[in-house]
Amino acid sequence: MNLTKEQFASMVDHTNLHADATRADFERLCREAVQYGFKSVAINSYPVSMCRKFLEGTPVLTGAALSFPLGQTSIDMKVAEAKDAIANGAQEFDYVENVGRVREHDYAYIEEEMSRMVEVARNAGITCKVILETCYLTDQEIVEVCKVARRVKPDFVKTSTGFGTAGAKVEHVRLMKQTVGDEVQVKAAGGIRDAKTAIAMVEAGATRIGCSAGIKIYNELAAMEQAKDLA
């Protein structure tokens, strides 16, 4: 497919989720997101208010990663963290589902968790993304979670945190999209470091890309466009 650098930028959640990130790192992240026209910055919940101020007056959204990266907190704690992030200015949030409960095939728990997080997002008028952490799941488990999502209707199902044993895989993105259909969008994240991989994820059905290599990929796409123009 012909993915332009502008189309790519409009899908990017520009990411810094490192434990040692400083105020200067977050300021740079926000400045880069504005410069390149990225969709959002993806950060942990602590720097949300800081980044919202850095991005004031720009179209770039401030997104919070919740129960990150393990997902091993109670539903009540996830709800509380979501409300706190929203109070601090979050315009989107990505939360990690309880992967252990998926592996136990306790999909009633996953549906309750997802329903309550989606309710928080809907009440605030913001976007909710559910991180499956697909590297730990079988294809059938991925399908079952996506069936829950098709009923509950978060805005996105998302492949990965980037902190698991593997990141996004094209076959998982395709499977997720086939299962949720047009009811829910798919975000690919984790290990997306070049234009070829980004294009493959979009071709498989992803409409949002989470990565820290967005500038590198943007420049690769720009070079590909230039080469095409010169051909």
Among this protein's residues, is 76 annotated catalytic? no
Residues 6+ apart with CB under 8 A from 126: 86, 90, 91, 92, 93
Give the CA distances from residue 226 to residues 2, 32, 92, 219, 230, in Å, rounded to whole numbers and listed in that order: 13, 22, 34, 10, 6
Query: Which one of 94, 129, 155, 169 is the catalytic residue?
Result: 94
130: β partners = 95, 157
Among this protein's residues, is 25 annotated catalytic? no
DSSP 8-state assignment for residue 193: -
Query: Which one of 5, 39, 177, 187 is the catalytic residue?
Result: 187
Query: Which one of 39, 129, 158, 177 is the catalytic residue?
Result: 158
Cβ atoms within 10 Å of 34's Cβ, excluding its own: 17
Residues recognised as catalytic: 94, 158, 187
